[in-house]
Structure formats: C-alpha cells, structure tokens
C-alpha cells in the first residue's frame, strides 16, 4: 500500500512539472523569428554583360542593399575577377563593421599602373557582391561587363553625291553594320557590301549622318549634317527629312590637325588604343582639348560641317551618346557626280 501511494505521488509530481512547463511555453509563445531576406538592385537591375570597351575608363558598380526580418546587415564585400586572367580575383571593397538594415554599394574601378584593365575582345569582368547578415547568412549577386572592340567599317563606305543617280544612298547609320539609306519609299540597288539601300523615311530612327553636296555654293560644298539639322524649305534634304517621324541628334567636332590620319588608320589593328583613348576623353561640352596637348582647344561641337576636304578626320557623338571618328576619305567632285567615301571607327 505504501508503495502504491508513493508511486501515485511521484506521478502527480511529474504531471505538475509537465503542466507547469506547458504553461510557461504558452506565456512566452516560443516564437520563431522570421527569416531575414537581403535585397540588392545593382546597376539599376542591369547585371548581365554590360558592354564596355577594351580600355575601360572607370567601371562602376552601385546600388542599394536592404534587409527585412530580424537580422541586420553585418558585412558587405565586393570581389572582381577577369575571365581571361586566371587568378585575377581581387577584393575591391569590404566593410565588416556594419549593423544596419540598409546600405549601398558604390565601387569605382579606375585603371592605374597598379590596377591595369586592358581586356581582350569579348572578355568578361565580374563583380561579385557578398552580403552577410548578423545571423551568418550569406547572400550573393553579381554584375558582369563584357569588353567589345571598336566598331569599324571594313573599307570606305560609298555614299552618293547630290546629283548622283547611280548611287542613291545619302544617309547613313552605324546600326546594322553601318547600313546605308536612300531617298524615296523603296529599297534600291545594292551597296559595295551587297546590302540594299533601305528607304530613309521608314528607318529614320537608325540614321545618324546626312550627306549633302552643293559645290557651286561656296558656303556648303561637301557637307555632313545631323538628321535634326533645320534645313529651310527647298534647302538641302528638307523635302525628304520632313517626312521622317524621327530626327536623331548627332554632334560633330572638326579635328583639323589635332588627330592624324595615321592615328586613325593604325593599319595593323583597327581596335587601337590611340582611337579609344582619344574618344574616351571627349565630352562634347565645348571645352574639349587635344589630349596630346592640353593647351589646344578643339572646335565647339556642331550639327553641321561644311566644306569637307579629302582625308580629314571628324569626331562625332551619336544621339544616345556613342563616340566615334569619321575619316572623310573622299568628297564629291565639282560636277556633283562623284561620291562621298567615309570610314568610321567608334566605341561600343
């Protein structure tokens, strides 16, 4: 009997402990903290193969980072690697003293003698961003840049003069491998590369250069215009361009002796550093100078250059900000039946 009483007392004591434990759980709720989530928006959300040139100036990786949930951002690290260079891993920035719910990335990768960035064509440079939260959870994202060489015309593009009916192209764009365009509504003939001259008025959103020659008019002669140049009624290509739904803006700088033909040609390599470095320094703000002599100020940008001459080089900036050089290889003859011939090299 005593054993039975003792057993009963033991069971009751154990039961009270269990109930008490359950009661404590209900008081605290035994809550599980929600898992934290890191959000990154790097370079405005554009992360895959952003095009840069082979001799990049400054490569920028930026954007906000935030975290939701109970944890905080504890560490942010940015690493760089270059596809063509094994073992090129480099820590660009690191901050391991954080305790915040939001921060931002702002990395400017600037080439220098100790930080060269000379890339091969189609090379890829990746910036990996690693965010560690206060619970030790790691979140990764990356931005990838791809290096592209200069775009260039394989040879001179032939463009008809005003009175030249044999070669109807008077307009040119750098898109579609330097496509030529004609007046009127129909595709006509083929150029020296075997491409049809497409009607300009149906493709005006792709046209960057307008060529016109009026040799008897001393103020014009052979000239190049921006598509949005305000031709007066019955002047130049007014009748044709008035039909265009889009008139792009191209700016030109006449270089004169500030950039030589030999620099433009650099026969052994069309993607030469002389062209790239020169173009990369141009701002088209009216204050540009020749980088080889910072005391020589270049001409102000304009939407028309008249009296073109053979073998001169012109810098241009396209509607969306692309920079290039145009060699005027040949201008029309005085009878208006010759052709323009031009070569172009431009940054990607």
Same domain, 133 and 227: no
User: How many Å apart are CA 325 and CA 279, to the nearest integer?
Assistant: 8
> How many angstroms separate the Cα of 18 from the Cα of each of 11, 39, 90, 121?
11, 44, 57, 72
Q: Is residue 7 part of a domain?
A: no
Place of tokens 């920035």: 93
Which pLDDT belongs to residue 2? 47
Q: Is residue 245 part of a domain?
A: yes
Structure tokens at 83: 């596809």
Q: Is residue 26 part of a domain?
A: no
Domain with 69, as residue range(s), is 37-148
Same domain, 118 and 198: no
Same domain, 162 and 143: no
Which pLDDT belongs to residue 221? 87
Same domain, 140 and 168: no
109: β partners: 59
The pLDDT tens digits along the chain (348 residues) read: 444 444 444 444 445 444 444 555 444 456 677 789 999 999 988 767 898 887 787 899 999 999 999 999 999 999 999 998 888 889 999 999 999 999 999 999 987 766 777 788 889 999 999 999 999 999 999 999 998 888 888 778 888 776 665 566 789 999 988 888 988 887 777 776 777 788 999 999 999 999 988 867 778 888 999 999 999 998 889 999 999 999 999 999 999 888 888 888 875 565 677 888 888 889 999 999 887 777 788 999 999 999 999 999 999 999 999 999 999 999 987 766 678 899 999 988
Same domain, 103 and 165: no
Same domain, 202 and 63: no
Among 100, 125, 148, give the residue marking a domain's end.
148
Which DSSP helix (H) or strand (E) runs through 254? strand 251-254
> How many angstroms separate the Cα of 215 from the Cα of each of 28, 161, 210, 221, 316?
93, 10, 16, 4, 24
Same domain, 206 and 106: no
189 Cβ partners below 8 Å, 6+ apart? 167, 168, 182, 196, 197
Nearest to 324, CA basis, from 315, 332, 333: 315
Place of tokens 């080089």: 313
Helices (H), 68-221: 175-178
Q: Is residue 330 part of a domain?
A: yes
Same domain, 124 and 175: no
Place of tokens 């090129």: 88
Which pLDDT belongs to residue 291? 72
pTM equals 0.71
Same domain, 222 and 143: no
Among 109, 126, 148, give the residue marking a domain's end.
148
Which pLDDT belongs to residue 93? 93
Q: Is residue 21 part of a domain?
A: no
CATH of the domain at 143: 2.60.40.3880
Same domain, 293 and 276: yes
Same domain, 124 and 169: no
- Tally the domains of the chain: 2
């Amino acid at each position: 009997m005593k054993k039975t009483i003792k057993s009963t007392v033991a069971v009751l004591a154990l039961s009270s402990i269990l109930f008490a434990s359950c009661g404590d759980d209900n008081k605290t709720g035994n809550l599980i903290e929600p898992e934290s989530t890191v959000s990154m928006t790097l370079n405005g959300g554009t992360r895959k193969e952003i095009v840069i040139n082979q001799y990049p100036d400054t490569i920028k990786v930026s954007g906000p980072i935030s975290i939701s949930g109970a944890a905080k951002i504890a560490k942010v690290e940015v690493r760089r690697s270059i596809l063509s260079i094994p073992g090129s891993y480099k820590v660009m920035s690191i901050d391991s003293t954080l305790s915040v719910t939001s921060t931002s990335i702002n990395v400017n990768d600037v080439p220098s003698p100790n930080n060269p960035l000379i890339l091969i064509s189609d090379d890829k440079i990746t910036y990996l961003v690693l965010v560690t939260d206060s619970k030790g959870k790691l979140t990764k994202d990356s931005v990838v840049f791809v290096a592209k060489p200069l775009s260039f015309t394989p040879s001179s593009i032939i463009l008809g003069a005003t009175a030249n009916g044999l070669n109807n192209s008077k307009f040119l764009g750098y898109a579609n491998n330097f496509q030529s365009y004609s007046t009127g509504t129909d595709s006509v003939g083929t150029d020296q590369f075997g491409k049809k001259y497409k009607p300009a008025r149906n493709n005006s959103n792709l046209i960057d250069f307008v060529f016109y020659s009026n040799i008897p008019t001393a103020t014009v002669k052979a000239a190049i215009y921006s598509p949005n140049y305000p031709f007066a009624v019955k002047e130049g290509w007014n009748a044709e361009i008035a039909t265009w739904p889009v008139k792009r803006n191209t700016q030109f700088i006449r270089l004169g002796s500030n950039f030589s033909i030999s620099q433009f040609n650099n026969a052994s390599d069309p993607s030469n550093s002389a062209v790239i470095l020169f173009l990369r320094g141009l701002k088209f703000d009216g204050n540009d100078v020749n980088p080889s002599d910072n005391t020589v100020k270049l001409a102000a940008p304009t939407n028309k250059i008249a009296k073109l001459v053979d073998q001169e080089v012109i810098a241009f900036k396209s509607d969306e900000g692309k920079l290039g050089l145009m060699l005027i290889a040949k201008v029309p003859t005085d009878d208006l039946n010759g052709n323009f011939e031009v070569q172009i090299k431009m940054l990607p």
